Amino acid sequence: MFTGLVQALGQLQHLGSDQLKVTCSAPPILQDLALGDSIAVDGVCLTVETILAQGFIASASPETLKRSTLGKVLDQGIVNLEASLRVGSKIGGHFVTGHVDGIGQLEAASRTENAWEISFTANSSVARYIVSKGSIAVNGISLTVADCSAAGDWFKAAVIPVTYADTNLQYLQPGDRVNLEGDVLGKYVEKFVRLGPNSAQNGSTPITNVSMGFLAEHGYL
């Protein structure tokens, strides 16, 4: 589990069909790194298999490479890094699982007086979880949706300068692809709405009153 607050930038290198080497010069994220630890690399949860002096090696399954941009990042490409959340730590972003829902594309980025306004397109696998003022992870960065289309296949976020400068958003060009993960809370809501009274399992009380109107009334939409 992660929070979407990037702690460092690293460089990615492909070692073989599924092995990835990540180098990083930021000591805090590496100083207590242990074998088996989870690290989000551009929003993708990977397990540390080998620890290096300035980085680590992890494996990515064919499914992970297919569903994310990691298989398409060029050697020495810049990636966002975040260590997994520890019990008792502050949560400054939102709950991010590190399981990418789909790939999006940068449409445009423009500097305003106090922020960067960045817009993206999203495929259908993640678009349904995108709502105005909701949370979205872009390359592992927790962002708030400032505006979006009704279908969620286009959205815009306002990014403060420090976030823009400390992440690989600064290197993206229009047309570049990004990893997207929808808010996990939206996925549970979707399931409850879809199953309704048939969601009772193992003798539990069935859910009968959850509807889109109910959710909107109680501040979930």
Domain of 137, CATH number, reads 2.40.30.20
Mean pLDDT of 60-79: 91
CA pair distance 143, 136, nearest whole angstrom: 5
Distances (CA, A) of 172 to 108, 168, 183: 9, 7, 23
169 with 205, same domain: the answer is: no
Residue 137 scores a pLDDT above 70: yes
CA pair distance 20, 164, nearest whole angstrom: 25
pLDDT band, very low/low/confident/very high, at 92 (cuts 50, 70, 90): confident
44 with 33, same domain: the answer is: yes
Beta-bridge partners for 13: 21
Residue 5 scores a pLDDT above 80: yes
135 with 194, same domain: the answer is: no
Predicted pLDDT at 48: 96
The reported pTM is 0.85
Mean pLDDT of 3-30: 90
Where b means 16+ CB within 10 Å and e means fewer, 45-64 reads bbebeeeeeebbbbebeeeb
* Domain span including residue 194: 185-217
Predicted pLDDT at 197: 54
Beta-bridge partners for 38: 47
Residue 40 near residue 49 (C-beta atoms within 8 A): no
Nearest to 78 by CA among 203, 170, 145: 170
Of the residues 83, 116, 145, which one is the last residue of a structural domain?
83
Nearest to 32 by CA among 84, 79, 88: 84
CA pair distance 139, 184, nearest whole angstrom: 16
Task: Establish if 3 belongs to a structural domain.
Answer: no
Residue 61 scores a pLDDT above 60: yes
166 with 193, same domain: the answer is: no
